[in-house]
Structure 1
Amino acid sequence: MTGYKQKYSVPNLLDLVAEGEGLRIEFKRLIHSAPKIARSITAFANTSGGVILIGVDDDRRIVGIHSEKETLEVIDEAMRFHIEPKPRIGVSFAEFRCRMVLFVDIPQSPERPHFHVERLIRRDSDKRGVERRVFIREGSHNKAASEECIELMLSSREPVRVSFTNRERRLLDWLNRHDRITAEEFADNACIPMKEARRILVSLVRSGALRLDTVSGRSSYSLAFH
């Protein structure tokens, strides 16, 4: 497991439980499935980071985990076989009224995107396939990332390069008069391929000129300051 030590106390636990699930907090009563916990870990690493509390029910009741060893084994399996590349995580425990809660702390990763990897058996044959998907946090849920969101993560590894040509100026002028635009709309308006439209929009997001919003896997762009 690629990890580090992260200390949480009972007051930390109670504060997080009181805050409730959201962009950076998730509750799990227990975990049995390595692919499912891997999905949450990748979503936090790909977004703003966060913490998973295992042993806390959805209604905020602290129920505790049954087995520290089995829970850690599931997390280890998730990290080894269901996430590429592996993010750094921190794991620690806190005991409240004889009930043990496990914390999985996931920082926002500089190596985004992290792929959720699931090995599947195809229904029409005995052949095994591999499904690689990127998840992000959207409110209190894990959602599949849009292509633009994935491209933004990949481009963040490179220096920002933006050219303000007439095409970019016309786009910004259009957004001054409209609320938002999708990559498809921009490609149609500018008569350019979709790949080029996405590249320009992502560059403008990285420069701070535009904001990328993703709802239910669909991305749109608006002026960062309007």
Structure 2
Amino acid sequence: MTLREVTKLAQQGEGLHIEFKKKVSNPEKIVREVIALANTDGGYLMIGVDDDKTVSGHRYIDEEVYVLDKAIKDLIRPMVQYEQWIIPINEKKGVAVYHFEKSPKRPHYLYEEGRKKSFVRADDRTIQASREVWQILRRQKKPKDIIFNYGEKETKLMQALGDKSSITLKEYSKIAKLPRFIASKTLIRLVLANVLEVVPQEKEDVYMLKNLP
């Protein structure tokens, strides 16, 4: 990757597939971005790029890369595969670019506060994956035909989605008068069956009918 290509990539701005960091000041937090990119749709993590999209570089880019590489190796499970480029800007500064594919080993996670935590991208943000999103990521690794009976609880869900474009787990549980764990299983199953799509959110995920081609 050339400096011109890095600059062009940076000009796209942060989003679902791109994250900027000026420096690796807190590698424990940056690995969350790595996990989110690998769990969602892949993308680029750029070190030495300012929030205003300026590729200003970092004076000690090799040291920054060493610290981040070690954090990725030590903190993320299962291990994440990636490409990496270190591009000089001038004699003193450089920029690093990491590229992550949508991982076949997802969901990746880290241990934090005594439990596993996983992360996904939501537009230009990284958020913690809910239990439902975790299960969807895990089961999507081995896609198979999902067979289910279209019963009363599914009918109530479709009626609710006919009245509005999206629904949360809490709303569905209340409307269908279902225990939360049964409502959760139903939504997960319908996402895996390509009937619904889930949109991760910081507070509560939303589910909507999937637009098939």
Q: Same fold, TM exceeding 0.5?
A: yes
- Residue 5 of structure 1 corresponds to none
Give yes or no for contact 1:214–1:220 (8 Å, CA) kept in 2: yes
- Residue 163 of structure 1 corresponds to 148
- Residue 138 of structure 1 corresponds to 122
Give yes or no for contact 1:116–1:135 (8 Å, CA) kept in 2: no
Aligned residues: 209
Choose the corresponding residue for 1:43, options 25, 36, 41: 36
Q: Give the Cα–Cα distance (whole angstroms) in 2 for the partners of residues 162 and 186 of structure 1.
A: 21
Aligned-pair Cα RMSD in Å: 2.1
- Residue 108 of structure 1 corresponds to 102
Choose the corresponding residue for 2:175, options 189, 206, 210: 189
Q: CA deviation at 1:97?
A: 4.3
Residue 50 of structure 2 corresponds to residue 57 of structure 1: yes
Q: Give the Cα–Cα distance (whole angstroms) in 2 for the partners of residues 151 and 161 of structure 1.
A: 14
Q: CA deviation at 1:131?
A: 4.4
Give yes or no for contact 1:209–1:223 (8 Å, CA) kept in 2: yes
**Which stretch of the first structure deviates more once superposed, 209-218 or 13-22?**
209-218
Q: CA deviation at 1:145?
A: 1.6
Give yes or no for contact 1:211–1:223 (8 Å, CA) kept in 2: yes
Unaligned runs of 5+ in 1: 1-7, 119-128
Aligned partner of residue 19 in structure 2, secondary structure: strand
Letter in 1 for 2:185: R
Letter in 1 for 2:104: P
Unaligned runs of 5+ in 2: none
- Residue 219 of structure 1 corresponds to 205
Q: Give the Cα–Cα distance (whole angstroms) in 2 for the partners of residues 197 and 155 of structure 1.
A: 18
Letter in 1 for 2:58: I
Q: Give the Cα–Cα distance (whole angstroms) in 2 for the partners of residues 78 and 131 of structure 1.
A: 18
Q: Give the Cα–Cα distance (whole angstroms) in 2 for the partners of residues 195 and 11 of structure 1.
A: 51
Matching of residues 166-177 of structure 1 within 5 Å: 166-167=151-152, 168-177=154-163
Question: What TM-score does the superposition give when structure 1 sets the normalisation length?
Answer: 0.83
Q: Give the Cα–Cα distance (whole angstroms) in 2 for the partners of residues 176 and 37 of structure 1.
A: 40
Write 1 or 2 for the structure with the bigger share of strand: 1
**Which stretch of the first structure deviates more once superposed, 162-171 or 210-219?**
162-171
Aligned partner of residue 118 in structure 2, secondary structure: strand
Choose the corresponding residue for 2:23, options 21, 24, 30: 30
Choose the corresponding residue for 2:187, options 201, 219, 225: 201
Q: Give the Cα–Cα distance (whole angstroms) in 2 for the partners of residues 40 and 108 of structure 1.
A: 13
Report sequence identity in percent.
28
Choose the corresponding residue for 2:133, options 149, 152, 164: 149
Letter in 1 for 2:137: M
**Which stretch of the first structure deviates more once superposed, 47-56 or 65-74?**
65-74
Deviations 1:3-40 (A, max 9, x none): xxxxx122311211211111111111111332122111
Choose the corresponding residue for 2:5, options 4, 12, 36: 12
